[in-house]
Amino acid sequence: MSSRLRSAALFAEALEHLPGGVNSPVRAFRAVGGQPFFVESAQGSRLRTVDGDELLDYVCTWGPAILGHAHPKIVSAIKSAADRGTSFGIPNPLEVTLAARVKEWVPSVAKIRFCNSGTEACMSAIRLARGFTRRDKILKFDGCYHGHADSLLVKAGSGALTFGHPDSAGVPADFARHTLVLPYNDGEALRAAFNEHGRELAAVIVEGVPANAGLYLPRPGYYQLLTDLCDQHGTLLIFDEVMTGFRLGRGGAQERFGVTPDLSCFGKIIGGGLPVGAFGGRADIMDYLAPLGPVYQAGTLSGNPLAMAAGLAALDELAQVNAFPTLEARGSQLAEGMIEAAKSAGVSVQWQWIGSMFCGYFTDAPVWNLTDALRSDLAKFAKFFHGMLAEAIYLAPSQFEAGFISLAHSEADLDQTVRAAAKVLRTL
């Protein structure tokens, strides 16, 4: 690795212009120490920094780069769309085509509306659920992050958790009191909450797989219990598939776990790496949106032709190359290698994975929820992160973020990663 002098100079300049020198907190490396590097370009499974280093990338733009960086079909689609105009502020054909494709892949979605980010999708889905049910309260789970809307930044994950402030400043107490928070995977707590508040709950929102406090999976039967309780109390179930949608299979986490939510939120992959969000679900609920209904939601750049073209190209390619079996195999290969590397080094690591998503916790106890995740040795993770970076392997710069594998990651890339991990783990 280089001395990163150019990155250091850029970061010093960025600190003069941007809060913390970044435009999203986790990029600042505060959770692991040190300073961030700056990227000049990316191709396939690798990043090239302004310092001339080439890094094997497992952040993948935090999920969207499922085909790898700068995939030629996505780049071509964006260029072609840009030649026709970058934004119209009026309907364009690509919105209709992508909407139909999402509906085809996700049967629970009868109608969909595009927006510009996962935050906007979740915020709008919550507003819609409240308008449709005429109830105020929502229920979420600690460690689950659904964007930075006020009512959702209560015991959130992602960057809020990374910096040790699950409850953000600037969120009025009156907003927070309408948000109930439960531990994930706790069936008894879920039953008790519905017994006390069920008729007041507009919606329950949950990540299909919680991936903003690292990565942990639902216990068998947990989502069936959640679905049954929502049905019994007239509460809408919102699946946040911003990360899992079109990554864990054509139908996302809901297909994988056999769940039919009332509303779903999407982002990342359906924009092919460009800013995008979407929410969709039952037709009677979606028709409560303006201009048909009383719930207002709008956006000048919603359905932007560049994002729509990129998203269509991404989904087309995923379908044509039969991507998901390959991604499953790559995820298993990496997991098996990392588990063996940790065992050989005598280091306790809980390697959690599903499909092409993963996280390693430095703890000897199973991780099923945020409380379990917080037992991880953060100092050991930081040392591991920097050790891997020195081996030209870029992992998420926080214990509380998931990693991602793309179709561009070869078996040789994964072998390289395991060899590097085996070396670094022996130093911990």
CA distance 203 to 210: 17
Residue type, 247: R
Q: For residue 17, what are the β-bridge partners?
A: none
CB 177 within 8 A of CB 190: no
CB 2 within 8 A of CB 53: yes
268 catalytic residue (yes or no): yes
CA 306 to chain centre: 21
User: Alpha-carbon distance 148 to 146, whole Å?
Assistant: 7
> Is the pLDDT reported for residue 164 higher than 50?
no
| Structure token digits, residue 210 | 């919680």
Which position has the higher pLDDT, 165 or 277?
277
Structure tokens at 114: 């595009």
Contact 158, 183 (CB under 8 A): no
What is the arithmetic mean of pLDDT over 99-111?
Answer: 98
What tokens were used for 142? 């600690």
C-alpha to C-alpha distance for 237 and 202, rounded to whole angstroms: 9
Of 51, 137, 142, 145, catalytic = 145
Q: Which of 142, 240, 262, 413 is catalytic?
A: 240
Among 63, 65, 40, CA closest to 50: 40
DSSP 44: B
Q: What is the pLDDT of residues 126-159, one digit of tens each?
A: 999 999 999 999 999 998 989 876 566 555 545 5
Report pLDDT for 66: 98
Using one digit for the tens of pLDDT, what is the confidence trace for 290-332?
Answer: 999 999 999 999 999 999 999 999 999 999 998 999 999 999 9
- What's the pTM value of the predicted model, to 2 decimals? 0.94
- Residue 39's DSSP bridge partners are 49
305: number of Cβ within 10 Å: 21
29-83 per-position pLDDT tens digit: 999 999 999 999 999 999 999 999 999 999 999 999 999 999 999 999 999 999 9
Residue pair 252/244 in contact (Cβ under 8 Å)? The answer is: yes
Q: How would you list the strands of the sheet with 357-361, edge to edge?
A: 350-354, 357-361, 403-404
Name the catalytic one among 184, 268, 372, 394.
268
Active site includes 174?
Answer: no
